[in-house]
Amino acid sequence: MTQAAPVALTMGEPAGIGAESALMAWTALKETGPAFFLLDDPERLAALAAALGWAVPIRTIADPGEAVSLFRSALPVLPERLEYPPAPGRPDPRNAGAVIRSIERAVELVRLGAAGAVATNPIQKSTLYQAGFVHPGHTEFLGALAGPGIRAVMMLACRHLRVVPVTVHVSLREAIATLTTGRIVEDATITARALREDFGIDAPRLAIAGLNPHAGEAGAMGDEEERLIAPAIRQLRDSGIDATGPWSADTLFTTRKRASYDAAICMYHDQALIPVKTLAEDGGVNVTLGLPFVRTSPDHGTALDIAGTGAADPSSLIAAIRMAADMAASRQEKAE
């Protein structure tokens, strides 16, 4: 392996599938990499592997620098002790502190150069809220950790498609009410920069989706395209970004159309996530753009109903770790 710094993988919800997915990810990647280390409780990981009958050696490390050299022989774990033993499928707010600390430590290690990127296991937001967590989710928390003035943008990516929703975890009614030309321009600009720096695309092409059926049908089915979206596209093109649209979402994601752009900027959550999750199946990755560090995550939740059974599919986590390492390498190459 020629990887300079390992990926820091966070604990996620201890009662969910994060730990067993991490064990399976190590088994899949131990020979080829990229190397990662897990911020988690080593004793509970060893107990979980034994309970599932998996031969995954756990090695406690004191420094992330140890992870790359020992990755072939064991899963490196930087200890983040849990206060209470987790029961699969039963989140406990008393462990929320460890979950949050693992994210904070991962970010700090990347910013110090000890790790190359952050990959986050899924969290159970409702449980964290009970413990006083004030952020809507990972993306917003990571934006806060990055510092003031940082706009964190969510991208979902797979081998076939990259999408960015301008409005995210709000009702459709609120999404329409809060959509603005400025937000479209800002998110598209951040996306174009990330495609250059993190994905190695020198001249990124953005397809901007319409909001209404048939992209408004020249105003017959809504005026947001003419009033909000077309002005954003003009501003983007004036700034040198190759942006086209507004395109009708019902044809934007066909095989032929996808070949004409590098990322689609969508107006609301489901417009973006339905096509990418359909195409990705189990290999989609959640990427946070606009941060001074690389962060990826699997695009599924904690799957409490199957936690502890060994039935989790690690494909999305493996894809997230690989993408994190690739993005970190691209960002470093662009900086040199």
What are the pLDDT digits (tens) for 248-292? 999 999 999 999 999 999 999 999 999 999 998 778 999 999 999
Q: How far apart are CA 256 and CA 186, in angstroms?
A: 27
Among 88-97, 140-149, 242-251, the range scoring the smallest mean pLDDT is 140-149
Provide, rounded to the nearest whole percent, the portion of the chain with pLDDT above 70: 99
Distance CA 296, CA 275 (A): 19
Tell me the average pLDDT across 107-127. 95
- Domain 1-152+291-336 fold is Isopropylmalate Dehydrogenase (3.40.718)
CATH 3.30.420.40 fits 153-287, yes or no: no
Write the pLDDT tens digit of every residue in 43-85: 999 999 999 999 999 999 999 999 999 999 999 999 999 989 9
The amino acid that residue 274 corresponds to is I
Over its C-alpha atoms, the chain yields an Rg (Å, rounded) of 20
Distance CA 127, CA 122 (A): 12
Residue 81, token pair as written in the block = 């002790």
Structure tokens at 329: 């390498």
The mean pLDDT of 312-335, rounded to a whole number, is 92
Residue predicted with more confidence, 336 or 282: 282
C-beta of residue 323 within 8 angstroms of C-beta of residue 289: no
**How confident is the model at residue 334, as a pLDDT?**
75
The arithmetic mean of pLDDT across residues 109-132, rounded, is 93
What is the rounded average pLDDT for all residues in the chain? 94
Q: Where are the domains of the chain?
A: 1-152+291-336, 153-287
- Whether the per-residue pLDDT at 3 is higher than 70: the answer is no
pTM of the model: 0.92
**Among candidate residues 121, 118, 136, the one with its CA nearest the CA of residue 22:** 121
- Strand arrangement of the beta sheet that strand 153-157 belongs to: 58-60, 75-79, 36-40, 7-9, 117-119, 295-298, 285-289, 153-157, 162-165, 263-266, 205-209, 242-247
pLDDT above 70: residue 129: yes
Residues 193-202: what's their mean pLDDT?
A: 95
Q: Rounded distance, CA 246 to CA 215, Å?
A: 6
Cα–Cα distance between 227 and 171 in angstroms, integer?
21
Confidence of residue 245 (pLDDT cuts 50, 70, 90): very high
Give the least confident one: 98-107, 123-132, 257-266: 123-132
The reply to whether 1-152+291-336 and 153-287 are identical in fold is yes
Residue range 11-20: mean pLDDT, rounded: 96
Distance from C-alpha of 43 to C-alpha of 47, rounded to nearest angstrom: 6
- Greater confidence (167 vs 149) lies with 167
Confidence of residue 1 (pLDDT cuts 50, 70, 90): very low
pLDDT for 308 beyond 50: yes
In contact, 201 and 191? CB cutoff 8 Å: no
What own/partner pairs with CB < 8 Å and gap ≥ 24 does 215-220 have? 215/245, 215/246, 215/247, 215/248, 215/249, 216/246
For residue 308, give both structure tokens. Answer: 């502890």
